[in-house]
Every structure is written in structure tokens, then in C-alpha cells.
A and B are shown apart, each in its own frame.
Chain A
């Protein structure tokens, strides 16, 4: 059977599975739609959170980014896992006890203010739309690479699938679909990694394999460091970025993770406070399986790639080389016309441009694995993009139908009307996201800097202070959010998107304290905390019933079901 046909069959089967699950678990009430009836087991919730969390970027691009940046890639590994410690310890149990549907619900009630709720809604919508546009694009890219269709066609198919199961099933459908998506995704990621680990080091566990010896007796990492020195790159295990920048980026990703609404809302779906703590652990276990394997793949692939291509004759390249050349992921330009490929750090002499996505996508082929595994990687990439898109879609539709419509504009609508409004806003959100997926605005490329920076600078401090400080009042929280968000937006617009100021002085030399835009969310978070504390001390204490809410959420007993009133 041809690879093409096999890929269509595997991907088609996975789509049929998602649709089947969503018909079986369709939502009957707003409670089902927003928080899956509050009855999801911590294990299933952990798996769904992991699928929700790991996007096309984690699945396809992360190992590649690490492969090309070595130690510097650690910011993603620590940043995107360490946030779960903060979530588990500082947010999840208390938000579950609070027992509402959305993050703006908490902000609005805790800070007894419609303005605070509105600020939170705007942040949630902005973060989610930025992120989802990137996911829709990701679906399209996976389609185009494996099935050789147009990127746009891929986006349309992705839209149709996501629309079907999120509109029908709401959080309930999404949760159980995500469980299936997690299984497909992790299987597709692990199988090639294990095979390559055995091939290169004889060790079947990739996490140990990349610290093991290769056939000639040297350690794999020492060998890679040696290859890097030879070609003029920085040593793989030490990297290029300044320590301060690595620190700030890691912190921004951690705080951002803990502040992303589509992650937080998952902890509303379990029955008890105890379960919220437990599902944070399960989620991190499931995430860690992929995140500890990715750096191993990065090292295997990097070594493999350098050894296969460098100073070798172009005519004798394996078949995968020419295949990925036609997709534009590899680009060879024989500058000195010697028929050999020179892969070097020096841009004037380097003859090979490699797209980082190739590390995961071409991995099974480089390792000579059978076609069904290649088809599985396609289904895995699709699962990663679809699961994240669906989770984000739900946050968007809940923000519109619940936070905006029910809580601010038309408080008297019935539950049935609200459910239809939620479904309607999902449809609109999918169309908008699809539009951005087809016509990506400049900021999609900066999705990491934007979404994480903004979440870190706005939600994280507001929620933490709402739980841990009884003195924090609405004036403090609102000014904190606005200042933190404002300065982060300004910095990203100034140095990442170049919307403000001259391009020639937006380079690294002009960054404040050498902090890159990706790491600036940490600074914004500090600004938020400091402003909020100062302002709250200069203004009135929060009313007594708010202090009682805080007292109530600090004690786990009596969580009950998530309530809309």
C-alpha cells in the first residue's frame, strides 16, 4: 500500500473516532457544555489536560527547536512543565473550590466589579484567539506536508472537524476526544524515539539513551559537542543565550502556563478539590512523557543529521533527503560547486538550510521505520493541533456566551438559550480562527511571546492575589492587570512586532536589561504585583462578603458542583 493511501486511512480513522466519541458524549446542559458536568475522573482529566496543553508546536516544532538551540531549548522544557507546579500548588485547588465556570467568573466575583470581569474577558479572548489561529495554521501545515494538499484545504478540513465535535459536545465531548487524541499523539511520538534510541545507543529508553555511549565508545553528547565545535557552532550543552535571558524566558513560560485560561478551566471539570490536585499531577505525568523524550529526539536527530549530510556527496543522499527538499524543508545550495554538502555555522560558507520541523516529521524516515509509523506521526500531529484548538474554542465560546452575554448583557436568558448562544459563538469562533489560519496576521508567529507574556502579566497575579491576599481589592487588581498587560503589550509591539518605533533600534542591543520579548512577561508580572499591592494599600479594603469568599475557597470541604449562580 502506498504511504499516501495509508496516511489517508490512518488519519481518516482517527477523525472517525473523534466524531464517534462526540456523538456518544454530547452535552445536554450548560454545565455539561462548560465543565463536562463536573464529573470527569482525575485520570481522564489529566490526560485531556495534557492533550489540550500540548499543541502542534509541542508535537512538531519543540524537539526541532531544541535540536537547533541545544541547551537554550531548555527554556521550553522547564517553562512548559514548571508552570504545573504553580498551577497545582497556587491555583487549581482553590479555583475548583470556588466552583464557577470560567476565569473571568473568578476575577469578576472576587474583585466585585464588572470592569474587572470585562478586563478579564478581553484578556481571555485575546490570548485564546492568538493561540487558536496558530493551531488552525498548524492543522493546515500537517495536512499539506503529509497529504500533499494545499495548506488552506487542510485548514478547512480542520475547521469542519473541530466545529463538529466542540459544538455538539462542548467540554464533555472535547474532554473525551482529548483522551483519545492524547493516546494517538504519545504513541506516535514515542515509537520513533524508542527505535532511534536503540539504533544509536542500544538503550531502549530515550531519556537514558541520549546520555549513553554510541558504538565507538564515546558518550553521545560529547560526540555532538565535538561535531558542533568542528562546524563552528556553540557547544550543544552550553548554548548562546545570556543567563538572565534564559531565566526570564523560563519564568515567563511557567507563569504564562499557570495563567492560560484554557488550562485553568480544566480544573473546574473534576468533582472535588482533592481531584483538582490529583489531576494536575496526572496532567504533568502525561506531559512529562513527551517533554523528557523531546530533548532525546533532539540529540539523536541532530547527530544523525550532521553525520548523514556534512561533507557527503549530494548525489548519494538517502531518499528522504530529496523528498523533504521538494517540500522546502531542506534547501541545498552548492556555493563552492564541489558536489559536497557543507553544513557550517558560518552563513557565508554554509550550503544547507534546514527547517526545524523536519526533526520530528522526518524522524521515522531517517530511522528507516515502516510506513504505518509515518502515517501515525501525521495523525499524531493532527491530534495535537485539533485538541488544543478545541480547548481554546471552548474558552472563547464560554467567554462570549457566559461571561459577556449571561453575566453582563442579558442576565435573564434561560439555560437553554445560553447553551445555544454557546454553540453559536463556537461556530463564529471557528470561522474567525479559520480565517486567521488562512490569512495569518503577523502576530501568529509571535504567539509564544504574546500568549504567554500576556497571561503571565495579567491573569496569574490577579488570581494568586485573589486567593492569597484578603487585602487585595478591585482598584489594586484592575490597575495591576492594566499596567502589567500594558507594559508587556508595549514591549512586544516595540521589539517583536515592530509596530512602534524604528526597526533599526529594536534589535537585542536595545532590549531593556537584555531581556528578549519572549521573557518580558516576567517583568510585566512583577509590574502587575507591585502596582496592585501599592494601589490596594492606598484604597478601601474589600467588603466583608468578599473576605468571606476568600475564607471559603481556602478550605477544601464542600466543593459541590460548578454553579452558574
Chain B
């Protein structure tokens, strides 16, 4: 594998990471903390939304994020033929 391909692989990897980490930050520090008071005026079932994000929602999003990362990276590994 030549240096240019390696670089391209890494660049795409970084792109995915940035995208996923922005969501990671938004759901936990954003919805669960910084925007919690604002979101608390909305209610979903018996949950105030900000409170729900902080105690439930953020955790579910974390799971989805890791799952998305695995799918994206497995595809990327195949594309660059670096999978095992």
C-alpha cells in the first residue's frame, strides 16, 4: 500500500471521526447539559426532554454512534482492502 493511499484512508477515517464526535458532543454536553434547561420545557411522555437526554437519551445515542462507526469503518477497510 503506497503512501498516498494510506493518506487517503486516514483522511476519510478522520472525516468519520469528526462527524461522529460532533454528534457525541451534541447529544451529551449539548442536549444533556448546556441546553437541558431549554429542552426541559418540552415533555415526552412523563420525561422532561433535557432530563431524559441526560439520564437516558445520551446513552442510547452513544450506542448508535459506536454501531455507526463500526459499519462505516468496516466499509472503509474493505474499500481500501485493509480488512482482515
Contacts and interface: CB of A to CB of B under 8 A. Distances in A.
A281 B63 contact: yes
Interface string A273-310: 11001101100110010011001000000000000000
Interface string B26-57: 00110011101100100011111001101110
B84 A281 contact: no
B6 A85 contact: no
Interface string B55-80: 11011101101110110011001000
Contacts of B56: 207, 292, 295
A82 B53 CA distance: 13
Contacts of B51: 71, 74, 221, 237-238
Interface residues of B, number: 43
B46 A222 contact: yes
B67 A220 contact: no
Contact of A273 (B10, B20, B32, B84): B84
B24 A82 contact: yes
A367 interface: no
B70 A277 contact: yes
Q: Is the interface of A mostly helix, strand, loop or mixed?
A: helix
A211 B51 CA distance: 11
Contacts of A81: 58-59, 62
Given A250-B29, A281-B66, A557 B82 contact: yes
A213 B43 CA distance: 13
A280 B13 CA distance: 18
A250 B33 contact: yes
B39 to A, nearest CB: 11
Q: How large is the interface on A (under 10, 10 to 19, 20 to 34, 35 or more residues)?
A: 35 or more
Contact of B63 (A208, A238, A272, A285): A285
A89 B84 contact: no
Contact of A78 (B32, B66, B67): B32
B62 A247 contact: no
Interface in A183-241: 207-208, 210-213, 219-222, 237-238
Given A78-B54, A82-B24, A280-B66, A213 B46 contact: yes
Nearest to A223: B46
B59 A292 contact: yes
Contacts of A537: none
Interface string A65-77: 0100001011001
Interface in A516-562: 551, 554-559
Given A74-B33, A295-B56, 16 more contacts: A74-B55, A78-B28, A78-B32, A81-B58, A82-B58, A85-B20, A221-B51, A237-B40, A238-B37, A238-B51, A247-B29, A247-B33, A250-B28, A274-B83, A277-B69, A556-B82
Q: Which 10 A-B pairs have the closest CB atoms?
A: A219-B46, A74-B54, A211-B46, A295-B55, A557-B82, A211-B47, A237-B51, A281-B66, A211-B45, A88-B66
6 contacts: A71-B55, A74-B33, A221-B51, A274-B83, A281-B67, A556-B83
